[in-house]
Structure formats: structure tokens, C-alpha cells
Amino acid sequence: MSDMNQAMVEKYRSSFLKEVEANVEEGHWVKMCMQCGVCSGSCPLGPHWEHPPQEIFMMIRAGKREDVLSSSSMWMCTSCYNCIARCPRGLPITHIMHGLANYSKRLGLQPKNQPTAKFSQLFWNNLTKTGRVNELKLGLSLYFMNGIGPGIKTALKMQDVGLGMLKTGRLNPLEILGGHSIKDKSGLQKMLKKAFEIEEAKIAEYKG
């Protein structure tokens, strides 16, 4: 085969679909989409998506790797499950969207300063530190997510809520000192580290 032929074959090879099937949670469902559009029309946040789910599926099949993985669209999903309930082909669309978001994050392709991505990272860091969610620290880290100034502003705005939670015993101020933890903290962290290594090795070839 001539070089030009090879180039054309490469151009039309749906390698991105295969990549999605291999690495994205529920990614093997993408090929089942019949482009009816019911998911996009049913999405309550639909108008705010750059590309609605049905278009994302088509873009995956068309090999638009960069456009899909750097899109903010799948980060807009609020897990309302309307799309899954209505999809005539039974695609787990919500899960695919989360899978795509997760995959783009692992490759470092997610849009910069995407709030959902930022929050997810904060939550993950908070959770994996002790094996338990430290709600006080999570709340505070959210307040200061966008810097000191806005953080103080938000904290002042929310102080009544915070005090109310303190009074009713819904928030423990001592959590600031490190907080409660699971029994085998280091065991959990070792396990997560190993899992991370395995996952990284799996996607190494796809990392730009």
C-alpha cells in the first residue's frame, strides 16, 4: 500500500472509538447510539452543553478526540438520569458522561478551571486523606476554591448556616485538627496508589 493509502486508512480508522471502549467506563455502549436525540432533548442542563450527548457520541465515532476530551460538556452532567430513563436503546448515558470526564481528567485534557473538575479533585483529596470525608475541611476548601478574597466573602455569607449546624451538632469544629479516620489509613492509601499505577499503565500509550 502506498503511503498516501496508509494515511487515508489512518484517517478513517476509528481508533478513538476503540480507545473510548477500552478506557472509558461503559464506553462499549457508544456504538449503540442511534442518534435519535432524546437524551439531548431530555437533559435539564442541555442548553448549557457545548455538545449534547448525542453529538458527543457522534464525535467519538467520527474520531474527534481532542474536541471530545477537552470539551466542558460531560462535566455539565448532574446525574439526573433523565437520559437513561428515556434512551430507547438503553444506553447508560449518565455513566458514559462521567466516564468521559474522568478519562479526560486522567489524560490532563479537561478544560482549565472547570468547577466540577476542581470540586471533584477537592473531594477526592479530602476523602482519600483519612478514608473519611472531612466535611468541615471540604466546606472550607470549597469557600476558598477561587482565592482568599472570595473565600472570606462566602464564609461570611454562610456563617449563619455554619453556626446553625454547629449548634445542632451537624458540624464538629474539632475536625479542623485532622478529623476522624478509618482504622487502616495507610493500607487504604497503598491500595489506592497501586490502583492508580495499574490505571496509569493501562492508559500510558494514550497519553499525549
- Of positions 40, 110, 130, 134, contacts other proteins by CB under 8 A: 40
Of the candidate spans 44-52, 109-117, 159-167, 192-200, the one that interacts with other proteins by CB under 8 A turns out to be 44-52
Q: Does residue 44 interact with other proteins by CB under 8 A?
A: no
Cell of 173: 469544629
Cell of 152: 472570606
Nearest to other proteins of 84, 142 (CB atom): 84
Q: Does residue 35 interact with other proteins by CB under 8 A?
A: yes
Site for other proteins in 78-117 (CB under 8 A): 85-90
Non-local CB neighbours of 68 within 8 Å, separated by 6+ positions: 16, 51, 56, 59, 60, 100, 104
Nearest to other proteins of 34, 163 (CB atom): 34
Site residues (vs other proteins, CB under 8 A): 34-38, 40-42, 46-47, 51-52, 54-55, 85-90
